[in-house]
Structure 1
């Protein structure tokens, strides 16, 4: 009697099913239904393993040195940081800052290495008279109108600043959205005009610089960002949704020089980081109203606004990734133009991405509203991080809202009220802490790519075109030259599992640690064989191994 193995029986079975289907005259899909492209004869082909090729890493081809990954305390920390339940605050802090692991090896948090502290302008003390629509977006000010300081202000934000330091976050950055309200032309923490000028009395520039230096020195910030998104109009009809002001390049340069003088006089170690452009395009162009082309404006020696030679001015220009992430051709070419401009003006200039979140409609694929914390949105975050790091050579990548109670998709950690509902006002004194795939997808980078690591070139066979890869498979790699550690991040946008091989003469280990974020897992640790690396469908996977010189 002939014995059939399981594979043979399976082939016979599918052949029989195929013949039956061919003989059946009935349409297996109802006329009003779209056929599932993944299904063939009852088999989900999208779940079948596809061998895609080799991972190639060139350890000698080094690119930028990574500085940090960060997020900001805006605006929720003011209330959350004052919750009576310390365990819940610690849970949030652990999700954001911890580098500890669970018993199974999975990370507790995403290990941020930079924390952004919003230096408030006093709209909170004004209450409804601030004309900022909600107290969630108003901020206190350390300085009183008489010029004295109250360092007990911004208590909630100070709790998270200390929590970050306690968990080993190496860098802090203070950022200002507006001058204190007692220095502004309209007495508000927003501009409220369609003009382009900074909202401050001309004789208050020195006082504004003194204020920011005092706050920076008090908290010993590593960095100060004095102006944020100067290209946007903040407020209309004497109403605004947050603090903010326009500013022209000449004003930014003048303010930076005042700050430089004061930091130098104080022997302060705080470095000034300029830019915070509302979109990348304002760093390399769009200077029709004196608020664009900021790389040339601030870092080309022949320019009147040149500031790179001033003490305490970091050789860094920062911008935001909003509005340049779709379609796929745009996410690639925008960052190529950005890097080209840096290389033309000053190849040593660092690029920082200092603010990103999921806002508005994104080519009909994603939307800020309503709140969505699924893997689809996590993958989108990973896609943006990948292109900023691997195309634009970004050295620091920073998220916008670290936590939020809103029915919106722009945070890492989310807060519901004690009943579980999305009721914003009921979250001021207590709430339920929720994670998100945005958080964990960012963690696939931030938890493993540590300060000082260098990006090296990496590729997957069959995915050499950057625009095609943007919607299929993306890869980037980073090495720690001291610890001889190699970190590879693979983003699989496709609905098929991929089988890859990692081959490099410098990699002697036959296995790698893999940390998987997908619909069901959040940085789940597993061990994979280098010749059989399975990348799940719709996932972000971090591979960690060692190498030898």
Structure 2
């Protein structure tokens, strides 16, 4: 790998982002390594729904996709080959595929179910998704999570995996809670015995508090009250404990941060989730004493991203509520939605930095202001909507799909590739400000810093503005630092732009994300 030493030579390396100190006054960030915040568990994405199909494409196509998502290798020029996701979300299906058109669900978002009508299990199902479980294992992705959008159709009140024609209660028959827990446990043990795949986590419900109640043909899903979630979680924990299953249960995958700390567009039976699940005073819903349940709550970063000022306010309120009840937090799903008007809403895929920067700003706010321990995107691959890290489409006249990367993929990689499980977020301040949460100009520079378990440091700097901005980073000492950049420049897809022995006079180009790592990055 060719290295450049700007500190030693004083030469201008414009490609690396270094400029002479006298050219302008730098923005100064100071990292306080003695003041630490949350531990980072993982960064990830899910296999819904595209991996059902991509996982049955030619093996080379699958390998190419897996490399982009999971690899931590570097090429001959030192550029990362992939974004090194550290958690992979596997959608455990409810059986809408087997129902065909009677499922009331779009053909592209249906799922198969391992359970058959006669009560036996068919482990040949979900073949495409299982293929990517094995690819994740091949690349040593450290965590696998199984999530369910609906119970199997054999257990639901309306016989469907969608809530069409129902109210805001759980679409699970009263006498099927135990059967559902057994099904989940059987999937955990079945994947282990038949596939050699261990599920580290199970998420049994998904967006149960959504005011839309999961009606319509789009996808599998069901609402649930917090009382129903608590009932299921207790039964599932009992099943896991009786069978010696060490998989952890993650709940409730809330649709909106406001439902986690208060009530939003629904009733109190689907609100105050932090307090309800983790305060012993909430006797009907308290599950904080269950052995299978970490003191951790999962929620989705939808609907609270605009206006920009509210994004910070909402996350600080969430952080304060979490702190009061001593609960950790995972941001476990998000994509672009209709309210994200700054980038034109969700329709129409965008491979550029326009969407990538918008998401980078969101990642920064979730990590810095909500103290998220994990940050997970929705779909690993998608079609003509801003919900996939990869874009899957069909060229005119072609019989097969084409899958291409995006700046969104690589921008997530600015975090996921370098901030590894167990890293600790460090306090960052900007000279001239008094914001103890770190330096955040949502229209300019945003900086966060981390210390990995091997002692190496990582700093991620977003430049949301249309101007190049010079910066100094203080508090991390000297040594060999690598710089990796994602921008709309043709080759800048998490590209190694060079190395330096100090962190002074570093130019952060307009509309870009730059990651600085100490000690270099070695292929694993």
Q: Name the TM-score, length of structure 2 as normaliser.
A: 0.89
1:389 aligned onto 2:367: yes
Contact 1:50 1:497 (8 Å CA) reproduced: no
Q: CA RMSD in A?
A: 1.9
Structure 2 match to 1:516: 485
Counterparts of residues 328-347 of structure 1 (less than 5 Å): 328-346=308-326
For 1:542 and 1:464, the matched residues in 2 are separated by 24
**2:306 match:** 326
Tell me if the contact between 1:278 and 1:320 (Cα under 8 Å) persists in the aligned partners.
yes
Q: Is the 8 A contact 1:116 1:173 kept in 2?
A: yes
Q: Structure 1, residues 478-520: CA drift from partner, whole Å, max 9, x if none?
A: 002x42211000000011111112232x5122x5211000111
Q: Secondary structure at the match of 1:95?
A: helix
Q: 1:420 to 1:444 in 2, by over 3 A?
A: farther
Larger radius of gyration: 1
* Alpha-carbon shift at residue 420 of structure 1 (Å): 8.1
The 1:161–1:49 alpha-carbon spacing in structure 2 relative to 1, beyond 3 Å, is farther
Please state how far the C-alpha of 1:409 moved relative to its aligned partner.
1.2
Higher relative contact order (CA 8 A, sep 6+): 2
What is the number of residues matched between the two proteins?
483
Pairing 1:207–2:179 present: yes
Aligned to 2:15: none
| Structure 1 residue matching 2:217: 3-state secondary structure | coil
Q: In the alignment, is residue 244 of structure 1 matched against residue 221 of structure 2?
A: yes
**Which structure 2 residue ranges, 5 or more long, are not aligned?**
1-21, 192-197
1:60 alignment partner in structure 2: 34
Please name the residue that 2:146 is paired with.
174
Cα contact 1:357–1:400 (8 A) shared by 2: yes
SS at match of 1:469: coil
Whether 1:109 and 2:87 are equivalent positions in the alignment is: no
CA distance in 2 between counterparts of 1:536 and 1:396 reads: 27
1:146-171 Cα offsets, whole Å, 9 max, x none, are 21100110000000111001101010
Q: Is the aligned partner of 1:197 residue 2:169?
A: yes
What is the CA deviation profile of residues 74-130 of structure 1, one whole-angstrom value per residue up to 9, with x for unaligned ones? Answer: 0011111011x2111111101100000111111000000000000100000111111
Counterpart for residue 30 of structure 1: none
Closer, same or farther in 2 for the Cα pair 1:298/1:129, shift >3 Å? same
1:90 equivalenced with 2:63 (yes/no): yes
| Residues 176 and 228, structure 1, Cα contact 8 Å, conserved in 2 | yes
Distance of 2:305 and 2:136 partners within structure 1: 30
3-state SS, counterpart of residue 543 of structure 1: strand
Are 1:431 and 2:401 an aligned pair? yes
Give the structure 1 partner of residue 204 of structure 2: 226
Q: Is the 8 A contact 1:49 1:499 kept in 2?
A: no
Residues of 2 paired with 1:160 and 1:463: CA distance?
Answer: 46
Q: 1:369-419, CA deviations, whole angstroms, 9 ceiling, x for partnerless residues?
A: 111121011101110100000111100111101011x21111101112254
Structure 1 residue 364, shift from structure 2 partner: 4.1
Deviation at 1:50, TM superposition (A): 4.8
Within 1, Cα distance between the matches of 2:308 and 2:175?
47
* 1:408 aligns to 2:380 (yes or no): no
Contact 1:49 1:496 in 2 (8 A): no
Distance 1:218 1:50, change over 3 A: farther
Pairing partner for 1:453 from 423, 427, 435: 423
Deviates more, 1:116-125 or 1:306-315: 306-315
Partners of 1:267 and 1:202 in 2: CA distance: 26
- TM-score, length-normalised on structure 1? 0.85
Task: Map 1:268-279; keep pairs closer than 5 Å.
Answer: 268-279=245-256
Counterpart residue number, 2:125: 153
1:290 maps to which of 269, 275, 287: 269
Contact 1:332 1:467 in 2 (8 A): no
Q: Distance in 2 between matches of 1:73 and 1:362?
A: 23
Q: Does 1:308 align with 2:288?
A: yes
Q: What secondary structure, in the 3-state scheme, does the structure 1 residue paired with 2:154 have? A: helix
Correspondence 1:489 to 2:460: yes
